[in-house]
Amino acid sequence: MTDSKQFSFPDENGYYGQFGGAYIPEMLQANIDKLQKTYQSILADNDFQKAFHTLLKDYVGRPTPLYFASRLSEKYGTNIYLKREDLCHTGAHKINNTIGQILLAERLEKKRIIAETGAGQHGVATATVCALRNRECIVFMGEKDMERQAPNVARMKMLGATIIPATSGSKTLKDATNEAIRYWINHGEDTHYIIGSVVGPHPYPAIVAQLQSIISEEIRRQLLEKTGDALPTHLIACVGGGSNAAGAFYHFLHEKKVQLIGVEAAGKGVESGESAATTFLGTTGILHGCKTLLMQTKDGQVVEPYSISAGLDYPGIGPLHAHLFTSGRAVYQQATDDEALKAAFELAKLEGIIPALESAHALAVLPKNKFKTTDKVVISLSGRGDKDLATLIDKM
Amino acid sequence: MSRLQKIFAQQKPILNVYCTAGFPHPESTMDVMLSLQEFGADMIELGIPYSDPLADGPVIQESNATAIKNGMSIQKLFADIKSFREKIHLPVILMGYLNPVLQYGFEKFCQDAAAIGIDGMIIPDLPDAVFEKQYAPIIKKYKLDFIFLVTPETTDERIKKLDRLSSGFLYAVSSSATTGNTNKLTGINAYLQRFNALSLHNPVLVGFGIGNKEMFMEVNKLAAGAIIGSAYIKAIRDAQNVNTATKSFLSSILG
């Protein structure tokens, strides 16, 4: 087995190392079974690939630029490139996945799409592709998040989606995911569930990672064009569930020379009791159908995470990341709310780009790492900051 | 013959009643179990509360959240049961999600459960492949029964496999749904007839959405009995007295 295989693809049972699998009740077995048996052939199919890439180009606006950030580079004494996922249609990388999964749903002949959303970015990306491909769309969103992210709720409604508030538990992303899974249990025969991150039962982490891998495919090509070498020295991306990081790391997983850095939300500080620093605080357990690292009590009750960024406010990480972390292939660092805010303002002032608060966490570790003047540091700028303006204005 | 096998040897419809441990009050577990025994249940299924019960509808979810707030945990549950297990002659099975069991330690869980007279367990999110590979020998070592769920969408071949891996009984989910979700049993007869045609080695109990006498009688025509959960939780959640609420609930089903 090559390194590339070991990290890019789960084994036949859906495990990345010891993490992954499909820990689902029997009520989901038929649907998951069908997905497991068909996803590889559907994703590899020529017609699928053609339709996927055409939409990415003409509708999403790919390839997104790899931008050399000269003033930021100067400040940190190195060479910093920003992968501009914030320029995707709908404002974040999330749509790479939903475009692929709506095409998958069509091939599975499912008439209805469901999705969970935290900040609303994945919900908007799902509602968008449902409008595009004429599918019924239901988005589950924590009642608390619906208040925090009202503009995205309005966007989803305008796109024709039905929003169902998750009123159980802590009324945030974790509970929205529970509600989406429960809905799927009750309506499995005609419904496809578009999970928004590299989480959930096998084969979801593999599907989402593969669809997001377009990010690193482009980085390789663009970096080669710009510098004559396809490999950066460092690749930095924020990690909630970890889909933009999985996509940005994907085609570099087997390149040992590339240092992969995932950045988790430390909220008010990793030891504050209010954070989402999963690799730092988490232990092995089962969440949303997969074995992974998650934040939990000693009794195995899932702990409610906290971050200023709703997109990183998740108590687990995808099984691929759990494996990259425990195997040491990638390192995971933490950035607090304040550090992320500072980085967001810095990027706005130095480069004229207002990043999403999620992406600002990736920028926030720049001062914490030592770079050489010859290093090439690629940062995944996963989303734009429009949705966070209310929070940002508050801190000005 | 295990206690579960003895129950099924009685040749009468079996009523298994589910209740979340530590619900509605921190110390309700003994009351609930003694009352169920006194008023005619044949088997007791105790739920281990979990923060994220994926297979459960709103009623049982809420009971899980209440029980966690009430301080219920596997440690407390085992200590509680140990103190009164001798008063209960019915078989007792535990139903819980995998994560809390894993954190307690799977083997320690089985060892401690067996030591206090637990008869079997249901872990709905434990995949059969993982069970077969890692956990079946432990279950066997502690002489516990382990029960798998099947649904109307489960293929015949898979039903046979899950029957082979199960002991005690096979749990037939009435429809592909979360708990407490159905009020009608559409197509239940054709579904249950499938089991009879497969000549399974376990008796079949039907659960999810069974909430009244009529439905209990209906499934008894073709299955060994039924499991009632959400309807019982509703009956006791606001009750002043668990004993009288259980009496009136069970007489509405069995009377």
Express each pLDDT in A78-107 by its tens digit: 999 999 999 999 999 999 999 999 999 999
Q: Does an H or E element contain B176, and which? A: none
Whether the pLDDT of residue A1 is over 90: the answer is no
State mean pLDDT over A285-302.
97
Express each pLDDT in B69-93 by its tens digit: 999 999 999 999 999 999 999 999 9
Q: How far apart are CA B147 and CA B165, in angstroms?
A: 8
Give the pLDDT of residue A89. Answer: 98
Answer whether A208 touches B (CB < 8 Å).
no
Give the nearest chain B residue to A294 (CA atoms): B99
A8 or A265, higher pLDDT: A265
CA A99 to chain centre: 14
Residue B164: burial class (beta carbons within 10 Å; 0-12, 13-18, 19+): middle
A4: pLDDT confidence band, cut at 50, 70 and 90? Answer: very low
CATH number for domain A16-55+94-208, candidates 2.60.120.580, 3.40.190.10, 3.40.50.300, 3.40.50.1100: 3.40.50.1100
| CB contact (8 A) between residue B173 and residue A26 | yes
**Domain boundaries of chain B, sorted by first residue:** 13-249
Q: Count helices and strands (H / E) in chain B.
A: 13, 9
Contacts of A98 (CB under 8 A, 6+ apart): A115, A122, A125, A126, A128, A129, A194, A196
Whether the pLDDT of residue A388 is over 70: the answer is yes
Whether the pLDDT of residue B135 is over 60: the answer is yes
Answer whether A181 touches B (CB < 8 Å).
yes
- Chain B closest-CA separation from residue A263 CA (Å): 26
CA B30 to chain centre: 17
Give the pLDDT of residue B141. Answer: 98
Please check whether residue A392 is in contact with residue A267, taking contact to mean a CB–CB distance below 8 angstroms.
Answer: no
State mean pLDDT over B43-50.
98
Give the pLDDT of residue A250. Answer: 98
Which residues of B are catalytic, by number?
A: 45, 56
Give the pLDDT of residue A170. Answer: 79
Answer whether A117 touches B (CB < 8 Å).
no
Whether the pLDDT of residue A213 is over 60: the answer is yes
Contacts of A371 (CB under 8 A, 6+ apart): A76, A77, A78, A233, A234, A377
Residue A383 bridge partners (DSSP): A92
B186: pLDDT confidence band, cut at 50, 70 and 90? Answer: confident
State mean pLDDT over A268-293.
96
| CB contact (8 A) between residue A300 and residue B50 | yes
Residue ranges matching CATH 3.40.50.1100 in chain A:
16-55+94-208, 61-92+213-394
Q: What angle do CA B147, B150, B156 make, to 5 degrees?
A: 120
Q: How far apart are CA A220 and CA A231, in angstroms?
A: 7
Give the pLDDT of residue A8. Answer: 87
Express each pLDDT in A41-56 by its tens digit: 999 999 999 999 999 9
Give the pLDDT of residue A2. Answer: 39
Give the pLDDT of residue B183. Answer: 60
Residue A292's SS3 state is strand
Give the pLDDT of residue A99. Answer: 98
Tabulate helix, strand, coil % of chain A (nearest 5): 50, 20, 30
Please check whether residue B70 is in contact with residue B26, taking contact to mean a CB–CB distance below 8 angstroms.
Answer: yes
Is the ipTM higher than 0.90? The answer is yes
CATH number for domain B13-249, candidates 3.40.50.2000, 3.20.20.70, 3.40.50.300, 1.10.150.120: 3.20.20.70
* Pick from A26, A169, A299: CB nearest B124: A26
Which site among A18, A173, A185, A284 would you substitute to test the B interface, given the most B Cβ atoms closer than 10 Å to its Cβ?
Answer: A185
| CB contact (8 A) between residue B52 and residue A287 | yes
Place of tokens 């003033």: A71
Please check whether residue A276 is in contact with residue A307, taking contact to mean a CB–CB distance below 8 angstroms.
Answer: yes
Whether the pLDDT of residue A141 is over 60: the answer is yes
Answer whether A12 touches B (CB < 8 Å).
no
State mean pLDDT over A14-24.
97
Give the pLDDT of residue A6. Answer: 67
Whether the pLDDT of residue B163 is over 70: the answer is yes
| CB contact (8 A) between residue B52 and residue A182 | no
Mean pLDDT of chain B: 95
Give the pLDDT of residue A5. Answer: 53
- Chain A closest-CA separation from residue B39 CA (Å): 32
Give the pLDDT of residue A119. Answer: 84
CATH number of A61-92+213-394: 3.40.50.1100
Express each pLDDT in B88-125 by its tens digit: 999 999 999 999 999 999 999 999 999 999 999 999 99
Alpha helices, H only, A9-120: 29-44, 46-55, 70-76, 94-107
| CB contact (8 A) between residue A174 and residue B181 | no
